[in-house]
Structure 1
Amino acid sequence: MPRRKELSEDLRSRIVDLHEAGKGYKSISKSLDVHVSTVRQTVYKWRKFSTVATLPRSGSLVNLSYHGRRPLVREVTKNPMVTLGQL
C-alpha cells in the first residue's frame, strides 16, 4: 500500500490545538476527517519535539546524477539478473 501525502502544517497545528483543548483522539479524528493513528502520531511528535514542522529525515542523499543513472538503468533493463558487482 503506498504512503499517503503528508499532512499540512496547518492541519497538524489544528490537531495539536484541539488536543490541548481537551478533545480526545477519536473526536479530533472525526472532526478533521483524519485517521485516529494519524492524530496519535501527530500529538506524539508534538510532545516529543515541541513542534509540528516537518523534521529532517535520516539517510544519505542520492549522489548519482541523471546522466550517471541512465546507463545503469539501460544495463539492468537489458539484463535484469545482473548483480551490483557486475555493474
Structure 2
Amino acid sequence: MKLVHFHKAGEGYKKLSKRLGIPVPTVKIIIQKWKKHGHTKTQPRIERPSKITERAARKIAREKVHTSTVKRSLYNSGLFRRTNSAYEERNTIPMVKHGGGSLMFWGCVFASGTGALHKIEGRMNAGQYKNIRNLQTRGV
C-alpha cells in the first residue's frame, strides 16, 4: 500500500490526497483502518442472525408432508392432470379461476315501463351509447 508507506514517511492527509488523487476523507479512513487492524483489507461482514436455531432448521427439514397436501398445493397453483396420464403439455388441463370472460348488457327504465336489453360487444364507447339511447327513445 503506497498510502500507508507514504504516511509512515511522515506525509499528512492533504499531501497524500493530492499525490494519489484520493479524497481526504477516504485517506483518513484508510489510515485509521490500518492503525486499528494493522492492514487495509476489507473485514468480513456480520450477517443477520437467524430467527431459528440450526436444530430447529434440521427438524423442519425432517418433517413429513402428506401426499394430499402436496396434491392440493399443486392443484391450487393450477398444476394438475388426470390420473394415469403421463406428464406432457397436452395432458395438462388449463384452469382459469375468474371464469374466462365477461358480458355487458345495457338496459333502461322509463316512467312508462322498461326498455329493451342490449348486449354490448367489446367496450362501451360514446357512439354505442348514443345509438342504444336513440333506439330506446324511439321504441317508447
TM range (shorter): 0.5 to 0.7
Structure 1: gaps of 5 or more residues:
1-12, 62-87
| 1:21-40 → structure 2 map (5 Å cutoff) | 21-40=9-28
TM-score by length of 2: 0.33
Q: Which residue of 1 aligns with 2:48?
A: 60
Greater per-residue helix proportion:
1
Q: Which residue of 1 aligns with 2:104?
A: none
Q: Which residue identity lines up with residue 31 of structure 2 in the other structure?
A: V
| 1:74-85 → structure 2 map (5 Å cutoff) | none
Give the secondary structure class of the aligned counterpart of 1:17. Answer: helix
Structure having the higher Rg: 2
1:20-57: CA deviation from partner (whole Å, max 9, x where unpaired): 01000000000000000000000000000001112112
4+ residue segments displaced more than 3 Å = none
Q: Which residue of 2 aligns with 1:49?
A: 37
* Percentage of pairs with the same residue: 39
- CA displacement at 1:59 relative to structure 2: 2.5
Higher relative CO (CA 8 A, sep ≥ 6), structure 1 or 2?
1
TM-score by length of 1: 0.52
In 1, the alpha carbon distance for the partners of 2:26 and 2:47 equals 23
- CA displacement at 1:60 relative to structure 2: 3.1
Structure 2: gaps of 5 or more residues:
50-140
The alignment of Structure 1 onto Structure 2 pairs a total of residues equal to: 49
